[in-house]
Amino acid sequence: MWTAPPITLTDEERAELFRRVAAHTTAVRAARRARIVLMAADGMPSRQISQRVGMHESNVAKWRNRFRDKGLEGLEDRPRPGGPKRFGHDERMKVAAARSRPGRTSTWRRSSGPKEWRSTSRSCGGSSPTWTSASTGSGAGSTAGTTPRSGNGSATSAACT
């Protein structure tokens, strides 16, 4: 049977890993990774570690290997693919609140066209694509299931004013 290579820790590494496990402000995933390395350094097999931390054995092996290769730095998250979010939480909540004001019923969907994106986001203080809603029949000039439009063909911005 194959066994994982042993992990040896310096006193400083062990102290830092204990600190991460014990700190109340440490993210759960960071504490779990530190716990994996500490158990591995104590000679516990990956299968047993996976049962104790509630993680699949392949993930336990991944964190063991990352620590072995890069030390404490290997336990940090790698950058995720894709671009950064265009809007922050507050901006998204402002648009959502404006588009779902009292007396208006709507169903939310990702808008399919740049005109809707631009008009909705710019009228609410944004500058790029965002969410729009399809009216379900309330409001002047709207048709059930369509996005209300002003005379110039863009989505109405009365919700944000």
pLDDT digits (tens, 9 = 90+) for 6-23: 888 999 999 999 999 999
- Number of folded domains that form the chain: 2
pLDDT at residue 145 in the model: 47
The pair of structure tokens assigned to 48 is 């047993």
User: Residue 53: is its pLDDT beyond 50?
Assistant: yes
The token pair at 138 is 């309330």
In angstroms, rounded to a whole number, what is the distance separating the alpha carbons of residues 146 and 1?
Answer: 63
149 secondary structure, DSSP code: B
Instruction: Identify whether residues 28 and 54 lie together within a single domain.
Output: yes
- Report yes or no on 110 lying in a domain: yes
Residue range 84-121, pLDDT digits in tens: 878 888 888 888 888 777 665 555 555 555 555 444 54
Q: Is the residue at 81 inside a domain?
A: no
**Domain encompassing residue 114:** 89-137+144-160
Whether the per-residue pLDDT at 55 is higher than 80: the answer is: yes
Q: Which long-range contacts (CB under 8 A, 24 or more apart) does 47-53 make?
A: none
The reply to whether 20 and 59 lie within a common domain is yes
pLDDT at 75 over 80: yes
Instruction: Identify the pLDDT of residue 8.
Output: 87
For residues 40 and 48, the answer to whether their CB atoms sit within 8 Å is no
